[in-house]
Copies of this chain bind each other. A is one copy, B any other.
């Protein structure tokens, strides 16, 4: 998978690219079938909503689930980021965000690189997010909202919000959001399961609550240039990884093949 010069220009300008049908229904089905198993585990990697029950986020499934171990090395996710950053990548963070039907809570406005810099001492915003839709994302189930062009203005000042939701986040104040939205507007890409959204570490984003009866699982890969690895190990290892080994992409049909197996982190296998 290679981005065209036009796609690279759009990415430079807007800070994101959207691929409406990157993975096939058969591939998505394989990924989806693992989600209930992952959320059913009681491990520290699973973050619940404030009610203590509804899954909010599941970290590092690629370290203990064989299917997600393959996804973390998928060429359709790894190669475009390698192309943009121009060097080998390692996995800084890997998570599934649930945004469950009825009870899925908000993610306040934030920049991921803001957190990576403040908490993890990542030197530069040479890291990228990949969001892979496992469910249909529509206007009513809490789609990701992006402020186009906001990645060009560096790291915004932010406050550490430990109250609004069950997951602590460096969030951006209302005056800054108002200014950025006046310049760039807000987009909320909608799409079918299998769609992929790639966005810059400094792109300001968030998502609303989900009151609909439709769950909205998204897998997030945060891929970082190896030379740009984090320097501080303050957060748990399953949230900010410390293994900087370059990712070697698997074959394009890896999810559909039984003969490809990835060695799991030995201490973390289920």
Residue numbers of A with Cβ under 8 A of B are 101-102, 106, 108-109, 139-140, 142, 145, 174, 177-178, 181-182, 186, 188, 206-213
The docked-state distance in angstroms from the alpha carbon of A209 to that of B142 is 10
Looking across the interface, which residue of chain B has its beta carbon closest to that of A173? B102
Question: Interface of chain A, helix or strand or loop or mixed?
Answer: loop
Residue numbers in B under 8 Å from A208 (CB-CB): 140, 142, 208-211
Looking across the interface, which residue of chain B has its beta carbon closest to that of A109? B211
A212 & B101 in contact (Cβ 8 Å cutoff) = no
Tell me which of B101, B140, B186 contacts A145 (CB under 8 A).
Answer: B140
CB distance from A196 to the nearest CB of B (A): 21
A139 & B109 in contact (Cβ 8 Å cutoff) = no
Residue numbers in B under 8 Å from A210 (CB-CB): 208
A177 & B209 in contact (Cβ 8 Å cutoff) = no
The docked-state distance in angstroms from the alpha carbon of A106 to that of B212 is 12
Tell me which of B139, B177, B181 contacts A188 (CB under 8 A).
Answer: B139
Do A101 and B139 contact each other (CB < 8 Å), given the known contacts A109-B211, A186-B212, A211-B145? no
